[in-house]
Structure 1
């Protein structure tokens, strides 16, 4: 829980009473690898903060192939923002890649905090802006680079995460087959 509070305090100051209120509006949950935090076709009503573990955001393309868009690990927030904000069905899945422990806010709890804590909206807007910029930085390099360069960039940016996620998900994220990823890894290790 302290990880959550430390992260929030990076974006604004809070009194001890406000911190206790935030804690009272959350619950700690665990998910097993393969469990979903949110699913396509359902409306998001929770925001998570990852204490331990890795999630992936994925969808199915028009051909029915599962595509991993990006990964989210510890000390990051987790939500389908469009679905939560506009109360519309999500178009993607947020799935645990490893066993996960997270702190969860219900949508109603976030509304209560916004109505109670002066400056809460400013803090959440700054957190959202940072998360969106992080998301873009995770996706945009994928567009311009070849598969080997993308894989090397992923290893440089997320060295520990690469050891924690299945190769099939990483290959999907890179936009290549698992066989191509194996070949790239083999060539780099020679």
Structure 2
């Protein structure tokens, strides 16, 4: 729980009793490798903080091909934000790539916490803004960078993904085939 509180207090100051309220509102949840946190078609009503492990976020097209759009790793928040905000079914799947421990808060509990601790509205806004920025950067990367540049950026910014995520998911995230990724890895090493 200390990393969760550190993550929140990096944005807003909290009194010890407010920290205790937050800790009480989040509950631990263990996912085994292959278990889903959220599945496509489900209305999302929770946010998770990844204590340890890795979550892959992907969607499937009409022919069933999967595209990885995000990885949520240790000490990151994750959720199907559009689903949670609009109360519409999620289009994305959130699956554990390894045994993963989450701290989860339900939407209603989050709303109540924000009423009880008003500065959490600021933290929640910053959380949403950061997710938006991440998505915009990814779109820009996919539009404006070559596959090699995308791979080099990933190595620089997220080396854990290269080391810990299966090749086919990394390739999908980069918008290339696993074979192309193998060639890039050989060229750069």
Deviations 1:8-29 (A, max 9, x none): 0011111111111111111111
Q: Tell me the TM-score normalised to structure 2 length.
A: 0.94
Show the counterpart of 1:164.
Answer: 164
Partners of 2:161 and 2:170 within 8 A in 1: no
Match of 1:44 in 2: 44
* Cα distance, 1:94 vs structure 2: 1.2
After superposition, residues 87-126 of structure 1 pair within 5 angstroms as 87-126=87-126
Q: Distance in 1 between matches of 2:109 and 2:93?
A: 23
Contact 1:69 1:139 in 2 (8 A): no
Q: Offset of 1:97 from its aligned partner?
A: 1.7
TM-score scaled by length of structure 1: 0.93
Q: Which residue of 2 aligns with 1:31?
A: 31
2: CA distance between counterparts of 1:7 and 1:30? 20
> Matched residues in 1 for 2:30 and 2:97: separation?
13
Unmatched segments (≥5 aa) in structure 2: none
Counterparts of 2:60 and 2:168, CA distance in 1: 15
- Runs (4 or more) in structure 1 with deviation over 3 Å come to none
User: How far is 1:109 from its partner?
Assistant: 1.0
SS at match of 1:154: helix
| 1:24-65 deviations in Å (ceiling 9; x for gaps) | 111111212221110110000110011112212110123321
Gaps in structure 1 of 5+ consecutive residues = none
After TM superposition, the structure 1 = structure 2 runs for residues 1-190 of structure 1, keeping only pairs within 5 Å, are 1-189=1-189
RMSD: 1.4
178-187 or 42-51: which moved more? Answer: 178-187
Contact 1:50 1:103 in 2 (8 A): yes
Q: How many residues align?
A: 189
